[in-house]
Amino acid sequence: MLRSCFFVLLLMASVNAWSGDISYKVGVNGLTCPFCTYGIEKHLLKLGGVDGVETNIDEGYVLVTMDEGELLEKPEVERAVKKAGFSLRSFE
């Protein structure tokens, strides 16, 4: 029984690892406070295919995770960042 439970847990972990979620690290100039975080996240979440957004104020970047099979294009990120009142530093 313990062996089969371990196998199921291992299988679940490997499915998550191979799920194909793509993340982009977006460097943003001007992120200094929680209000900035709210603004940038709101605009990036409006983009098609975005599953989640995490902001690191200290490092000045936003990690954007996409839905499976979706890609993010730099021009649409630049527009969203500009609408939020910031400038794009990098897009990885």
The 10 Å Cβ neighbour count of residue 35 is: 8
Could you give the C-alpha distances from 89 to 22, 23, 60, in angstroms and in order? 20, 17, 9
List, run by run, the mean pLDDT of 10-residue segments along the chain (92 residues): 43 46 93 90 95 94 95 96 95 94
Of 3.30.70.100, 3.30.200.20, 3.50.50.60, 3.30.450.20, the CATH number of 20-91 is 3.30.70.100
The predicted structure's pLDDT at residue 16: 44
The predicted structure's pLDDT at residue 55: 95
Spatial distance between the Cα atoms of 63 and 19, rounded to a whole number of angstroms: 17
Q: Side chain identity at 50, as an amino acid letter? A: V
Q: Which are the contacts of 14, defined by CB distance < 8 A and separation ≥ 6? A: none
The predicted structure's pLDDT at residue 18: 47
